[in-house]
Amino acid sequence: MARRITLEPTGSGTAPENLTVDYRAELNDQQYAAATANPGALLIVAGAGTGKTRTLVYRLSYLVETGLDPRSIVLLTFTRRAARDMMTRAASLLDGRCQRVRGGTFHSFCMQLLRTHAPALNLSPDFTILDASDAADVLSMLRTRGGYPDRADRFPNKGTLQSMFSDTVNRDRSLSEALNDRYPQFTHLHDDLRELQDTYRAYKAEHHMLDFDDLLRRTHELLSQNDTVRQQVAARCRHVLVDEYQDTNAVQADLVQQFTSVHGNVTAVGDDAQSIYRFRGADFRNIFRFPKQYDNARVLKLEQNYRSTQPILDLANHLIDHANRSYDKTLFSDADTGDLPAIVPAADTAMEARFVGQMVAQLREQGVPLRDQAVLFRSSHNSYDVEIELGKRNIPYVKYGGTKLSEAAHIKDVLAHLRVAENPDDAAAWNRILQLIHGIGPKTAQDLIDWLTDDDHSAFVVDEQGHFAQRYLDTLTQLLNTLRSIRPDEQPLTEQMEAVLTYYRPLFEEAYPDDYPKRESDLEHLAPLAARYDSRQRFLADLTLDPIELTALDQEGATDDEAPLVLSTIHSAKGLEFHSVFLIHALDGTLPSQYALDEPGGLDEELRLLYVAVTRAEENLFISYPMLQTSRYYGDTMASRSRFLENVPESILEPVELVEAPPESTSDALPESPEPEALPTPDDDNTSAPKSDLSEPEDGLPF
């Protein structure tokens, strides 16, 4: 065994006396301890609203100011925007050196590593990336080609197959384990599914494609099986900062260990109480395993909340105390006064919507802008009645948690053309753009793909030997000419985009005859987005890895004088804050979801989801639910409030009764806002705006 000599730490050790930033003055005691901690393994358990991002920014600044080369620091987040914003804030705090930190999402960082070290995996560095729907389409094609539906009465559909195979990667387990745990109805198909999974992997390799999970899996494979590469990568990672550590999956947690295997310096920040992405493979247990996985790991807590009033925090603390497992922390605030959170039962969904609409208007009249108010819900369809009510009252709103830009069919059409130009072997993209042509169906498309991706074929040229039908030959020729013109990535990306759109628009109108004028506005956003990039490859990767919501684009180009009210799923609202929050449809069977009741750990995750919703509120929190639900299948049924809200003392959660105005006070106009004594009213002077979540290109440097 080799003799070991332990080197004394350099940089970020004992703080010099001439630091530019006065960390002691700028941070509270808990934040200061975390930001200036010595090198090694550090876990910062940061409660909601306790200045997690601020602490991580000061930690980053401190590491740079005490001698660490910023190019040797890796900042891993779950959105590019989060990484870029942290580096920008650190740069404004210290200086431009912080902009040289290597920052980005796990997937984008792994993508850069794979492009750099592709030969070590016999991988083409020009691979393209499949999003979840692309991956499902490929599986659908392979499923049909292999005749799998003919082998069983009920074979999984493409979406289930994609989720199933993704589960094996994100949870680092075998197909058998995934089937037994989540898909027991398909356990008898194990051998067929195993065969299809192997076929899928081989097909991706043949056509130089990776899906989301491959970015993590292949990087883990690279570092685990090639010790030389692992040491090269880890040697450049002198300190790794990880945001939202509670949202990491099994592979990501292992990758952090690989990245830090040389220097052993890691700062992970997270909150076990805000782990709500189990459906994506996130494992909140990672944050509990951290102290055991790293030698001499320190665990520090952030508990002083700067967002919410103490009555709101009392409810949050009460809820999370009922979790089966959590770090012992109690949120507290200097804002120890304020109205109690309100629980508001409504007769039905229509009354609940009227309550929300009326209170939103009333709050606006009292000085709380719409942009500082939010309506949150478990699932997107929960807000339909509220949306109708807001429309009646002419209250503008924006809804988050819907379709992403790169998930919209017409946007995927355009991007598929660019993907083929980038990687002519991308069979999934070829399949999409070929079937846009009238006269080309799945069988003809597959024959053309085999011909177009043949090694002996000259790309994007219709030769005389090809067997083409006249019904599509002219359009196919036009397509190949367009692709050939943009194949070299030398002309500006906006010009490439315009060439594709010129070819695509006639097909677009034919493919979406009912609503193409509405979809047209989405296409208009593509050129400005493309103008931010000087690389087609990076543009495609960014839109795939960190997509923008269509509703966010709508707001980016809006010219309304008044910023809109925010409607959002709880998942999409994580990280945001609002003066006043309305949590609607707080029903048992909705929150918690009925499906969660049958999954191990599902109930605890739903409790954490409620905790996240509650802690978005700064001063006002209204939790409502309809006592009567109407279903097309079951008619009218009585409903119960969420089990998480049963038996909460009235000293923590105040009951509010909705009362109809007397008949003589009604008219054909919209009802005036009543002023029931039980309803909380806000202070007029607190109008802090919610944070935006638009995605833009990251500035982090790849390896």
Range scoring the smallest mean pLDDT among 38-52, 147-161, 688-702: 688-702
Residue 648 lies in a domain: yes
The most confident of the ranges 317-326, 365-374, 459-468 is 365-374
d(CA 108, CA 102): 11
Q: Are residues 318 and 234 in the same domain?
A: no
Q: Are residues 196 and 49 in the same domain?
A: no
Q: Are residues 107 and 188 in the same domain?
A: no
Residue 670 lies in a domain: no
Where would I find the H helices in 435-469?
A: 442-452
Please say which residue of 502, 520, 546 terminates a domain. 546
d(CA 449, CA 455): 12
What total of structural domains would you count in the chain? 4
- Collapsing DSSP to helix, strand or coil, 478 comes out as helix
Q: Widest CA span of the chain, in angstroms?
A: 92
What is the predicted pLDDT for the residue at 8?
64
Q: How does pLDDT run across 323-370, given as a tens digit for each residue?
A: 888 888 899 999 888 999 999 999 999 999 999 999 999 999 999 999
What is the predicted pLDDT for the residue at 697?
35
Q: Are residues 394 and 320 in the same domain?
A: yes
Q: Are residues 533 and 612 in the same domain?
A: no
DSSP 492-537: -HHHHHHHHHHHHHHHHHHHSTTTHHHHHHHHHTHHHHHTT-S-HH
What is the predicted pLDDT for the residue at 680?
39
Token pair of 702 as six digits: 């790849």
- What CATH number has the domain bearing residue 651? 3.40.50.300
Range scoring the smallest mean pLDDT among 62-71, 392-401, 510-519, 598-607: 510-519
What is the predicted pLDDT for the residue at 607?
95
What is the predicted pLDDT for the residue at 521?
76
pTM for this entry:
0.81
* Upstream peptide bond of 626 is cis (omega within 30 degrees of 0): no
d(CA 523, CA 553): 11
What is the predicted pLDDT for the residue at 620?
97
Binned at pLDDT 50, 70 and 90, residue 489 comes out as confident
Please say which residue of 277, 306, 335 terminates a domain. 306
Does residue 386 carry a pLDDT above 80?
Answer: yes
Does residue 457 carry a pLDDT above 50?
Answer: yes
Of 503, 511, 423, 437, nearest to 469 by C-alpha is 437
Q: Are residues 202 and 105 in the same domain?
A: no
What is the predicted pLDDT for the residue at 458?
56
SS3 content of the chain, % helix, strand, coil (to 5): 50, 15, 35
Which residues define the annotated binding site?
46-53
Q: What is the 3-state secondary structure (H, E, C) of 639-666?
A: CCECHHHCCCCCCCCEECCCCCCCHHHC
Residue 20 lies in a domain: no
What is the predicted pLDDT for the residue at 210?
94
Residue 22 lies in a domain: no
What is the predicted pLDDT for the residue at 632?
55
Q: Are residues 416 and 498 in the same domain?
A: yes
Residue 11 lies in a domain: no
The most confident of the ranges 148-152, 191-195, 379-383 is 191-195
Residue 581 lies in a domain: yes
d(CA 661, CA 678): 15
Q: Are residues 300 and 342 in the same domain?
A: no
Strand partners for 374: 566, 581
Q: Are 116 and 703 in contact (CB under 8 A)?
A: yes
Q: Are residues 186 and 240 in the same domain?
A: no
Q: Are residues 420 and 529 in the same domain?
A: yes
Please say which residue of 289, 306, 323 terminates a domain. 306
DSSP 271-291: -GGG---GGGT--THHHHHHH
Of 508, 542, 491, 338, nearest to 432 by C-alpha is 508
Q: Are residues 356 and 342 in the same domain?
A: yes
Does residue 669 carry a pLDDT above 70?
Answer: no
Residue 1 lies in a domain: no
Average pLDDT, the chain: 85
DSSP 530-595: HTT-S-HHHHHHHHHHSPPBHHHHHHHT---SSPPEEEEEHHHHTT--EEEEEE---BTBBTTBTG
Average pLDDT in the 403-410 region? 76
Range scoring the smallest mean pLDDT among 56-65, 543-552, 554-563, 667-676: 667-676
What is each CA distance from 24 to 19, 166, 430, in whole angstroms? 11, 45, 58
Which residues define the annotated binding site for ATP?
46-53
Q: How does pLDDT run across 41-54, given as a tens digit for each residue?
A: 999 999 999 999 99
Residue 520 lies in a domain: yes
Token pair of 457 as six digits: 């074929």
What is the predicted pLDDT for the residue at 455?
59
Residue 448 domain boundaries: 405-546
Q: Are residues 147 and 86 in the same domain?
A: no
Binned at pLDDT 50, 70 and 90, residue 667 comes out as very low
What is the predicted pLDDT for the residue at 356?
96
d(CA 184, CA 176): 10
Does residue 560 carry a pLDDT above 90?
Answer: no
